[in-house]
A and B are shown apart, each in its own frame.
Chain A
Amino acid sequence: MLVDVVRKLIVVGGSVGMLLLSTEAQAGGPNEICLTYANGQFEPNEPTVPADAPLTIRVKNMDAKAMEFESETLKIEKVVAANSEAVLNVRAVKSGRYEFHNDFNEKARGFINVQ
């Protein structure tokens, strides 16, 4: 019975999600940053983007180890598996200097300048 309830909820939740996805109207494409992570370093490690527009961050992990891309001030975190890439969505933010790092290796960090 529990399984049924959970299954139904997933189906309902999924359909609602799809609906939201399909009706979503993007006003102007989001800005995109592409970050490459290799040998414990981000490249570029201080990109600049315009303020007050949604942002998409594409993180390519070239290392053989998984990493967790995280920015406390941008409120994003995501595991990026070894030798793969992941995309993170950030809502429009005010101008400022936002720190990001690999949560599994605190030495690897950089900044996103929002202007």
Chain B
Amino acid sequence: MLAALIIVFREVFEAGLIVGIVLAVTNGVSHRLRWIGGGLLAGLAGACVVAAFAGALTQLFEGMGQEIFNAAILATAVIMLTWHNVWMARHGRELASDLRSMGRAVSDGSKPLIALAIVIAMAVLREGSEVALFLYGVAASGDGSAGALLGGGLLGLLLGITVGLATYFGLMRIPPRALFKTTTVLITLLSAGMAAQAVVFLARANWLTWLDRVVWDSSALLPERGVAGRTLKALIGYTDQPTAMQLMVYVGVILATIGLMRLTAMPPAPRIAAAE
């Protein structure tokens, strides 16, 4: 039972963190729960499909289907997170001046909600398919311990939801004005971390083997598999043995996000008065 709890919790943990952050980012936006719920359900449905066709997926791309699939999911999430940040930067002026207008700005253009719903769906899809496979195996084995294992899985799921809620309420303690900056930084690092993880999957598929020298090894100091390491991995993409390519992509995504945000945040030309 404990094993099932740990396996499920480990997979749900990362999705829980991401949902918590998205809840905080969209605080005050009307209909947000509909979008977030939609993302969750789409992710769950997708996870079940992936689990059902796990064997076929593996055989794609000369046996590297899982790796390419994971890299594609992560890349999609990176694009959506960057899009969200850039959209928010463009509307940042209104948001900073009046918090209430943020709800209106975001609900008027539902684009960032689509982006964030896709991010949630991708997170659930990635983590959920393994849980589905594991639980299916448990249920199919039909031995006496199946009930206890499923119970453990359910407990793990509840713990994961708790992590999401704790993240949300933790972020909600930040004053509204600082919250916008905090979530922008969080989402940028989250996206850079996901991009660096996508590099790992491409490397495992032998699609991207350049610059694969490990730059440092901090596994003795802060193991990636420990609780702190896992949390940092999920949040900012921490890895205890990053390759040069991973570091480059990580920094590249941060710089690209900042650049795109600067570009699009240009003042929306209030030059009517100056033209008089």
Contacts and interface: CB of A to CB of B under 8 A. Distances in A.
A64 B140 CA distance: 9
Contact of B54 (A13, A24, A66): A66
A76 B140 contact: no
A86 to B, nearest CB: 5
Interface in B190-206: 200, 202-206
A79 B204 CA distance: 14
Instruction: State which size class the interface on A falls in.
Output: 20 to 34
A66 B136 contact: yes
Interface in B71-107: 72, 75-76, 79
A67 to B, nearest CB: 8
A20 B130 contact: no
Interface string B109-143: 00000100000000000000110011011001100
Contacts of B136: 66
B134 A104 contact: yes
B72 A79 contact: no
Of B3, B137, B224, most buried by chain A (CB within 10 Å of CB) is: B137
Given A78-B66, A104-B134, A13 B55 contact: no
Contacts of B114: 2
A79 B140 contact: no
Main secondary structure of the interface of A (DSSP, over half): mixed
A34 interface: no
A20 B207 contact: yes
Contact of A79 (B58, B64, B225): B58
Interface residues of B, number: 37
B49 to A, nearest CB: 14
A26 to B, nearest CB: 9
A75 B54 contact: no
Main secondary structure of the interface of B (DSSP, over half): helix
Contacts of A104: 7, 133-134, 137
Contacts of B212: 91
Contacts of A79: 54, 58, 66, 129-130, 133
B54 A9 contact: no
A65 B205 contact: no
A49 interface: no
A58 to B, nearest CB: 9
A6 B76 contact: yes
B76 A81 contact: no
B63 A76 contact: no
Contact of A20 (B75, B79, B129, B208): B208
Interface string A54-67: 00000000001111
A103 interface: yes
A82 B7 contact: no
For the complex of A and B, the 10 pairs showing the least CB-CB separation, nearest first, are A81-B55, A65-B137, A66-B133, A81-B54, A87-B63, A17-B207, A84-B55, A104-B134, A72-B225, A89-B206
Interface of B: 3, 7, 51, 54-55, 58, 63-64, 66-68, 72, 75-76, 79, 114, 129-130, 133-134, 136-137, 140-141, 200, 202-209, 212, 224-225, 241
Interface of A: 2, 5-6, 9-10, 13, 17, 20-21, 24, 64-68, 72, 75-76, 78-82, 84, 86-89, 91, 103-106
8 contacts: A17-B68, A17-B202, A20-B208, A66-B133, A72-B224, A82-B55, A86-B66, A87-B64
